[in-house]
Amino acid sequence: MVLLELGLTAVIMLHAALTASREGTALVRPYQRWYVYGIVLVCAFGVSALSEFTLQRGPLDMHPFKIPSESMEPTLLVGDHLIAARRPFSEKGPKRGEIVVFRHPRDTERHFIKRVVALGGDTVALREGRLFINSKPVIEPYAVYDGPPGANGKLDNFGPISVPADSVFVMGDNRNHSFDSRQWGPLKLELITGKALYIYWSWNAMLSAPRVSRMGMVIE
């Protein structure tokens, strides 16, 4: 699947380059050279081929995931492709602040990605968009809002609720555009399929170009 997506990306990039060269109307930027795109694609194909070969076979038991929505922006962008590993959770559950991939509790055929903000046994509450864990405010530099905190109604004023021992509480970093534990409740640990590790490929659909600077980025 990863190789197919990269193949389609290569075709799109080649078509755009040929069209621009024929019409002569495109403003060519320093990085928009055939050899630059060639190097990027060769590296991406190499990493992706190795990843696809080892994802389900290697000791880390890794799997790929593509960001489909804006719920984790600005940490993760639409078009980011990342690697998640199950091994970190083989002996103990995730930690607060870690980003996890999981099967959605209402549709286990679909995978979502969110940030763990509370663990089993914690008490969670939001007041005017401010997160409180066990009655203590939490500093969240990654959380963003479209408007002033608290303007999102019940989603910004939530709880308190207690997280069951076999679950965690997850939320998207883009708080006004995330379907998460605030709506459907705590996430059972058994539904988590991995911890997000790093971005191996990123595609900007608006510019029809790869985001080279994001490739290899460690996810935090």
Which of 179, 208, 211, 152 minimizes the C-alpha distance to 11? 208
Burial 85-121 (b: 16+ CB within 10 A, else e): beebbeeebbeeebbbbbbeeeeeeebbbbbbbbbbe
Mean pLDDT of the 164-172 span: 97
Q: Is 201 helix (H, G, I), strand (E, B) or coil?
A: strand
Q: Which of 51, 71, 167, 178 is catalytic?
A: 71
Total domains in the chain come to 2
Q: Are residues 19 and 41 in the same domain?
A: yes
Query: What digits encode the pLDDT tens for the residues 179-194?
Result: 999 999 999 999 999 9
Active site residue 114: yes
Amino acid at 165: A
Q: Are residues 127 and 69 in the same domain?
A: yes
pLDDT band at 138 (very low <50, low <70, confident <90, very high): very high
Q: Bigger pLDDT: 167 or 43? A: 167
Task: For residues 40 and 43, give the distance between their C-alpha atoms in angstroms, rounded to a whole number.
Answer: 5
Active site residue 71: yes
Amino acid at 23: E
Q: Are residues 195 and 214 in the same domain?
A: yes
- Per-residue DSSP letters for 130-187? EEEETTEE---TT-B-SSSTTTTGGGTSEEEEEPPTTEEEEE-SBGGG--SHHHH-PE
The answer to whether residue 144 scores a pLDDT higher than 70 is: yes
Query: What digits encode the pLDDT tens for the residues 37-84?
Result: 566 555 555 555 444 444 444 555 788 999 999 999 999 999 999 999
Q: Are residues 132 and 199 in the same domain?
A: yes
Instruction: Say what the pTM is.
Output: 0.74
pLDDT at 140: 95
CB 155 within 8 A of CB 175: yes
Q: Are residues 114 and 188 in the same domain?
A: yes
pLDDT at 205: 92
**138: CATH:** 2.10.109.10
Residue 36 structural domain = 1-54
Of the three residues 54, 69, 96, the one that is the final residue of a domain is 54
Q: Are residues 42 and 98 in the same domain?
A: no
Which of 179, 205, 7 minimizes the C-alpha distance to 110? 179
Query: What digits encode the pLDDT tens for the residues 84-129?
Result: 987 656 567 799 999 999 999 999 899 999 999 999 999 999 999 9
Q: Which of 48, 114, 181, 195 is catalytic?
A: 114
Q: Are residues 64 and 3 in the same domain?
A: no
Q: Bigger pLDDT: 4 or 136? A: 136
Q: Are residues 39 and 64 in the same domain?
A: no
Mean pLDDT of the 149-175 span: 90
Q: Are residues 176 and 90 in the same domain?
A: yes
Degrees (nearest 5) of the Cα angle 191, 188, 145? Answer: 95
Q: Are residues 71 and 22 in the same domain?
A: no
